[in-house]
Amino acid sequence: MGPFRSTFALTLLVALGLAASPQGARACGDGEAPTSCGDVGAEASAKWMLKHVVAALAADKPAALAHFTKGEAGFRTADTYVFCVGPDGVMSAHPNPVLQGQNVRDLHDSDGTYFIRTMMETAAPGQVSAIRYLFPKPGSTVALPKTTYYTRAGDQVCGVGIYESDAAAPTDSPGARAAHLRDRLDGAMPPALREDWTAFLEALNAEAGAKAVAMEKARAGLQAAQAALAPPTTTPDD
């Protein structure tokens, strides 16, 4: 852990000990807290990120959409990424360049679920909804069950999804416990430390996102190498 992280972490713990529930702070279980005390794992992480997606769009829409697309500024982790669709049905932010800039209003899965259209029709400001459909992970062509949490932010409909394979991870795993602790601290953060806390989380998420991208590239390279080394198929006439 670098000097910034260790110093900030110590300051954070001291401040929380001295002012665990300051005026205006949102504590775990409060009506305006980002998640409930029982929220753990991938679902809580997706909802937590979506809250920050809305804030980023309100602050600087062009910069936010660029960050979402590139997975920068903490808007991509090993399990989640952000995507947004404009009022015209065009994908305004997505890590997959094939989808970026395309009209995806009628995009649907093999079960006939028009998930983009449904999100555009039902998304509401200040409300998080959920939809389940089949969609491949970035870098893959295999459609997997996925639940996306989405909301409306200005003229954008944005979502953060989790795949069932990721959400099924044990809630007592180190990653799940870390997500739970992060969400509780986020809700109880003193206003004076909010800026440093956000920067701290963005740094952690950026590292996780970079590792996820590297793993996807390594996996794609391995698959290509395996295909190149595989013996050629033969037919009875050969």
Bridge partners of residue 156, in order along the sequence: 153
Q: What is the pLDDT of residues 34-93, one digit of tens each?
A: 334 344 466 777 888 899 999 999 999 999 999 999 988 888 877 789 999 999 999 999
Which residue has 């970026």 as its token pair? 100
Sign of CA dihedral 42, 126, 38, 178: positive
The answer to whether residue 130 sits within a structural domain is yes
pTM to 2 decimal places: 0.57
Neighbouring residues of 147: CB distance < 8 A, sequence distance ≥ 6:
43, 130, 131, 132, 161, 162, 164, 167
In one letter, which amino acid is 228? A
The answer to whether residue 137 sits within a structural domain is yes
Sign of CA dihedral 179, 154, 61, 79: positive
Which residue has 């944005």 as its token pair? 158
Three-class SS of 147-159:
EEEEEEECCEEEE
Q: Using alpha carbons only, give the angle 172, 205, 79 rounded to the nearest 5 degrees.
A: 55
The CATH number of residue 113's host domain is 3.30.450.20
Confidence of residue 215 (pLDDT cuts 50, 70, 90): low
CA distance 32 to 133: 29
Q: What is the pLDDT of residues 13-43, one digit of tens each?
A: 333 432 333 233 222 333 333 334 344 466 7
Q: What is the pLDDT of residues 122-132, one digit of tens each?
A: 999 999 999 99
φ, ψ of residue 143 to 5 degrees: the values are -75, 130
The percent of residues in the chain predicted with pLDDT above 90, rounded, is 37
The answer to whether residue 1 sits within a structural domain is no
The predicted structure's pLDDT at residue 60: 96
The answer to whether residue 67 sits within a structural domain is yes
- Top pLDDT among 140 and 176 is at 140
The answer to whether residue 128 sits within a structural domain is yes
The answer to whether residue 87 sits within a structural domain is yes
Mean pLDDT of the chain: 74
The percent of residues in the chain predicted with pLDDT above 70, rounded, is 61
CB neighbours of residue 41 within 10 Å: 22
- Top pLDDT among 144 and 139 is at 144
In one letter, which amino acid is 3? P
- Cβ atoms of 54 and 151 within 8 Å: the answer is yes
What is the residue range of 136's domain? 33-185
The predicted structure's pLDDT at residue 30: 31
The predicted structure's pLDDT at residue 223: 73
The predicted structure's pLDDT at residue 209: 60
The answer to whether residue 134 sits within a structural domain is yes
The predicted structure's pLDDT at residue 20: 33
Structural domains counted in the chain: 1
Neighbouring residues of 104: CB distance < 8 A, sequence distance ≥ 6:
85, 89, 90, 91, 116
